[in-house]
Amino acid sequence: MADPTKSPPLTRSSVIDAHALIKKYIHLTPVLTNAFLNDLASNPQSAEALADTPWAGQKPANPKIRLWFKCENFQKVGAFKARGAFHALTRLMAEEGWEENGGRERGVVTHSSGNHAQALSLAAKTMGLPAHIVMPTISTPSKIVATKGYGANVIFSGSTSVEREAVVAEVVNDTGARLVPPYDHPDIMLGQGTLGIELQQQVGDMIKAQGGKNGKGLDAIITPCGGGGMLSGTALSCEGTGILVFGAEPEFEGADDCKRGLKTGTRIESVKTLTIADGLRTPVGAYPWTVIHDRKLVKAVYSVTEEQIVKALRLVLERVKIVVEPSSVVGLATALFNEEFRGMVGREAGESGWDLGVVVSGGNVSVEALGRLLEAKEEGKEKVGS
């Protein structure tokens, strides 16, 4: 990988520079709003909805929330990962001596079962480099086909991180390819943070066009959190703006490692979960942790249940009319169903309410998987993987 000590500083200005570097390679994804979901977010949950939760019997929160959806499901490869891949690869190619030392012929390598695999494959194809992608044999067939479709050399491995990394080491030894990690690198974080820069500008312009809040833009942004590259990058994009940043995770089988780590002050380095939000099954990386925890640029992280994720997924499909993957809706599920978050917004925002940016991180899910998810019993006794 590129030497992380030679990466730009982890600051908002570096995120802006990253955006200038990659904007010719990525889509300016749209920001959507939805009156029905605004109303749902801005009214108390029913006693029935809270019956089996820690807030049963309590007065439900009644925040005022205006939702602004940053739709990265319309990004190249169908996910925000394209941003980090293009930035990391552009930075790697600018490294002194890279071309002279055969970097173009040797290419790049990574291990990924999904969106990063496709993103790096597309970035490498665009730059004219070979890409070697180590994918677990259990990867979703459609993601394998898509990765190969971008011209990558796909090598299969076992599903554990140890097995994947062993195959990556073999590829590096055989080809000299440079590793581009999925999230745990400053260049990746800065690239992912470019969505935050866009979202701030887009919402500010939209609110101004509506004549609201004297031109004031977002109050807060909530993003999904897996490895933490997007969450930390978004936090960097908001540094010094007054915009608060929150993370959202599934709680199933300990997938809420970032939330738990923040409570203890120690990063959790291993996660084993089969949450339906399959893009969020990884622990937070060491570099993202320095932004999320050490620098305290993320206000808090909240978690939601599998049933709440499915409810939010259905709402987005039926009301916003866009196709998204389960990982994409954990932020919305938090805003709609997590009483701790909703109560906090009610106290912090008061009668004026909040304009909340919600990052919809991707849309790489098959029709068959969506069908299984939406047919699953909402009481949580039936698990359907994606």
**CATH code of 123's domain:** 3.40.50.1100
pLDDT band at 379 (very low <50, low <70, confident <90, very high): very low
Instruction: Please report whether residue 15 resides in a domain.
Output: no
Rounded-to-integer distance, Cα 239 and Cα 143, Å: 34
pLDDT score at 96:
86
Rounded-to-integer distance, Cα 3 and Cα 10, Å: 14
Domain ranges, residue 156: 80-184
Phi, psi of 357 (to 5 degrees): -80, 130
E strands, the chain, where? 31-32, 65-71, 108-111, 131-136, 153-157, 178-179, 220-224, 244-250, 300-304, 354-360
Phi, psi of 45 (to 5 degrees): -75, 155
Per residue in 208-236, pLDDT (tens digit) is 888 765 557 999 999 999 999 999 999 99
The reply to whether 150 and 276 lie within a common domain is: no
Instruction: Please report whether residue 384 resides in a domain.
Output: no
* Sequence-ordered list of residues with C-beta below 8 angstroms from that of 272, at least 6 positions apart, any chain: 253, 254
Instruction: Judge residue 177's burial from the number of C-beta atoms within 10 Å of its C-beta, 0-12 exposed, 13-18 middle, 19 or more buried.
Output: buried
The per-residue pLDDT of the chain, averaged, comes to 92
Q: Which residue has the higher pLDDT, 172 or 368?
A: 172
What percentage of the chain exceeds 70 in pLDDT?
96
Rounded-to-integer distance, Cα 247 and Cα 230, Å: 10
pLDDT score at 385:
38
Of 120, 114, 87, 344, nearest to 236 by C-alpha is 87
Mean pLDDT score, 368-384: 65
Residue after which a domain boundary falls, among 152, 184, 216: 184
Rounded-to-integer distance, Cα 285 and Cα 304, Å: 21
* 233 in Cβ contact with 192 (< 8 Å): yes
pLDDT band at 128 (very low <50, low <70, confident <90, very high): very high
pLDDT score at 384:
39
Rounded-to-integer distance, Cα 241 and Cα 12, Å: 9
The reply to whether 60 and 121 lie within a common domain is: no
* 213 in Cβ contact with 239 (< 8 Å): no
pLDDT score at 212:
67
Side chain identity at residue 243, one-letter code: I
Per residue in 154-195, pLDDT (tens digit) is 999 987 677 888 999 999 999 999 999 999 999 999 999 999
Instruction: Say which DSSP state 293 is in.
Output: I
Instruction: Please report whether residue 107 resides in a domain.
Output: yes
**């992380």: which residue's tokens?**
4
Mean pLDDT score, 271-298: 94
Mean pLDDT score, 255-267: 97
Instruction: Please report whether residue 146 resides in a domain.
Output: yes
131 forms beta bridges with 108
Where is 163: in which H helix or E strand?
A: helix 161-175
The reply to whether 250 and 174 lie within a common domain is: no
Total count of domains within the chain: 2
The reply to whether 218 and 354 lie within a common domain is: yes
Instruction: Please report whether residue 135 resides in a domain.
Output: yes
pLDDT band at 366 (very low <50, low <70, confident <90, very high): confident
Rounded-to-integer distance, Cα 311 and Cα 46, Å: 15
pLDDT score at 215:
59
Rounded-to-integer distance, Cα 184 and Cα 287, Å: 6
What percentage of the chain exceeds 90 in pLDDT?
78
Residue after which a domain boundary falls, among 164, 184, 204: 184
Residue after which a domain boundary falls, among 184, 213, 246: 184
- Tell how strand 31-32 and strand 65-71 pair up: antiparallel
Rounded-to-integer distance, Cα 301 and Cα 346, Å: 17
The reply to whether 56 and 100 lie within a common domain is: no
| DSSP codes joined into one string, 303-370 | EE-HHHHHHHHHHIIIII-----GGGGHHHHHHHH-HHHHHHHHHHHGGG-EEEEEEE-B----HHHH
The reply to whether 205 and 146 lie within a common domain is: no
Q: What are the respective helix, strand and coil percentages of the chain, to the nearest 5? A: 50, 15, 35
Rounded-to-integer distance, Cα 268 and Cα 266, Å: 6
Q: Which residue has the higher pLDDT, 112 or 24?
A: 24
pLDDT at 377 over 50: no
Instruction: Please report whether residue 11 resides in a domain.
Output: no
HSE of 193 in the Cβ direction (CA atoms, 13 Å)?
30
* Sequence-ordered list of residues with C-beta below 8 angstroms from that of 184, at least 6 positions apart, any chain: 227, 229, 285, 286, 287, 288
Lowest mean pLDDT among 20-29, 77-86, 185-194, 375-384: 375-384
pTM: 0.93
The reply to whether 142 and 247 lie within a common domain is: no
The reply to whether 334 and 197 lie within a common domain is: yes
The reply to whether 283 and 135 lie within a common domain is: no
Side chain identity at residue 322, one-letter code: I
Instruction: Please report whether residue 20 resides in a domain.
Output: no
pLDDT at 33 over 50: yes
The reply to whether 201 and 301 lie within a common domain is: yes
The reply to whether 69 and 130 lie within a common domain is: no
Instruction: Please report whether residue 366 resides in a domain.
Output: yes
pLDDT score at 213:
59
* Sequence-ordered list of residues with C-beta below 8 angstroms from that of 280, at least 6 positions apart, any chain: 224, 225, 226, 249, 250, 255, 327, 330
Task: Retrieve residue 19's tokens.
Answer: 């955006």
Instruction: Say which DSSP state 291 is in.
Output: I
The reply to whether 58 and 111 lie within a common domain is: no
